[in-house]
Structure 1
Amino acid sequence: MLASIHDDPPILICADLQVEYLTPGRRHVILDGEAATMRCLELLALWRANLWPVMHLKRIAQAAWFNPASRLTDWIPEAKPQPGEMTFEHPLPSAYSASRFVDYMSNIRSVRCILIGFSLDETILATAVDGFHRSHRYQVIGDAVACRQPATGDAAAYRDAVVNVIANFATIHPSAELIRTSGAIAV
């Protein structure tokens, strides 16, 4: 079934598009971050041009490696939330760890969300699982998500394994399909 995106656009959720993940030498740097970032920015531009709803998630963890006062937690400049776009800070991996996010999601009539961004193995995975258990429908854009390098092993295999796990809780789509069908989206 196809629904007109103009009648009922899904919410684009940009997860943790923070400078920390693209800074060389950092522990959580993302391999191939440029490709994922470009796709995220393309989708963000499409949503903004059509005035569709955009939501930004920002992880504010209380861990030794995470310094919320650092400039590294700033948004990537091109992805910085604009006026009218929602932002939610969450302390744990799932966006549902933020009470404001839970309140918002429980008060919208049709929960259809498209997840893009960083921390695939934390924020995106945990949010998709939590949303699934609340009967919220999530779509993850497979080429617009990225995760940090694993401590050991092949980074690409690790990323693919995480995407395969997420596929149990959300549908996975390529960005090209979403951009090509900007007038309609599978629901």
Structure 2
Amino acid sequence: MLVSLHDDPPILVCADLQVEYLTPGRRHVILDGDAATSRCLELLTLWRDNLWPVIHLKRIAQAAWFNPASKLTDWIGDLKPRPGEMTFEHPLPSAYSSARFVDYTSNIKNFRCVLLGFSLDETVLATVVDGFHRSHRYQVVGDAVACRHPGSGDAAAYKQAVMNVIGNFASVQASAELLRTSGAIAV
């Protein structure tokens, strides 16, 4: 189904675009950081230029490895929320662990989101699974998401395995496929 971006744009959800995930030597440093960040910025700029709705998710876990007082939890420069863009902090991997996010999404009649960002194997996966069970439609931008290095094995295979699981709960597309020259978006 094609929906006009200009008539009814989906909400852009930016997941965990925090410095923590790009800092070399950190346990949760992500794969493809520069490429994913560039694609996230490109899509975020498109949404902002058109004044379409944007949500930012920020993981504030209480685990020993995650220090919320650290500068590592700060937003990444150009990707940080602007005035008028909603932000939701979530303590568990799913955005639905934020009571404010649940309240917000339950008040939207036709909840459709384009999801990008970091923490693919945690926040992105958990959020699309939770959303699926609430009949919320998510579209994950495959080249604008990234995940941490796996403990062992091939990193690219790990990311692809996570994307295969996500594909059971959300549609997955590359950014080039997502945006069509007609101004329509496949949802």
Task: Check whether TM > 0.5.
Answer: yes
Partner of 2:69: 69
CA distance change for structure 1 residues 182 and 61 in 2, over 3 Å: closer, same or farther? farther
Aligned pair 1:148/2:166, yes or no? Answer: no
Letter aligned with residue 135 of structure 1: S
**Structure 2 unaligned blocks of 5 or more:** none
TM-score by length of 2: 0.98
Contact (CA 8 Å) 2:112, 2:138: kept in 1 or not? yes
Q: 2-side partners of 1:139 and 1:153: how far apart?
A: 27
Q: 2-side partners of 1:114 and 1:81: how far apart?
A: 16
Structural RMSD (CA): 0.9
> Which runs of structure 1 show a deviation greater than 3 angstroms over 4 or more consecutive aligned residues?
179-182
Q: 1-side partners of 2:105 and 2:75: how far apart?
A: 23
Larger CA deviation: 28-37 vs 115-124: 28-37
1:182 CA displacement? 6.8
Q: 2-side partners of 1:73 and 1:145: how far apart?
A: 18
Partner of 1:24: 24
Contact (CA 8 Å) 1:43, 1:179: kept in 2 or not? no
Contact (CA 8 Å) 2:179, 2:185: kept in 1 or not? no
Q: 1-side partners of 2:147 and 2:181: how far apart?
A: 26
Q: 1-side partners of 2:54 and 2:119: how far apart?
A: 18
Q: In the TM superposition, what whole-angstrom CA distance separates every residue of 1:18-59 from its partner, at most 9, and x where no partner exists?
A: 000001111111122100110000000000000000000000
Partner of 2:131: 131
Partner of 2:54: 54
Query: Aligned pairs, how many?
Result: 187
User: Secondary structure of 2:179's match?
Assistant: helix
1:95 CA displacement? 0.2
CA distance change for structure 1 residues 29 and 2 in 2, over 3 Å: closer, same or farther? same
Q: In the TM superposition, what whole-angstrom CA distance separates every residue of 1:131-184 from its partner, at most 9, and x where no partner exists?
A: 000000000000100000011111110000000000000000101122344711
Contact (CA 8 Å) 2:178, 2:186: kept in 1 or not? no
Q: 1-side partners of 2:75 and 2:180: how far apart?
A: 27
CA distance change for structure 1 residues 181 and 15 in 2, over 3 Å: closer, same or farther? farther
1:7 CA displacement? 1.1
Partner of 1:178: 178
**Structure 1 unaligned blocks of 5 or more:** none
Contact (CA 8 Å) 2:2, 2:186: kept in 1 or not? yes
Q: 2-side partners of 1:9 and 1:117: how far apart?
A: 19
User: Secondary structure of 1:62's match?
Assistant: coil
TM-score by length of 1: 0.98
Identical counterparts, % of pairs = 81
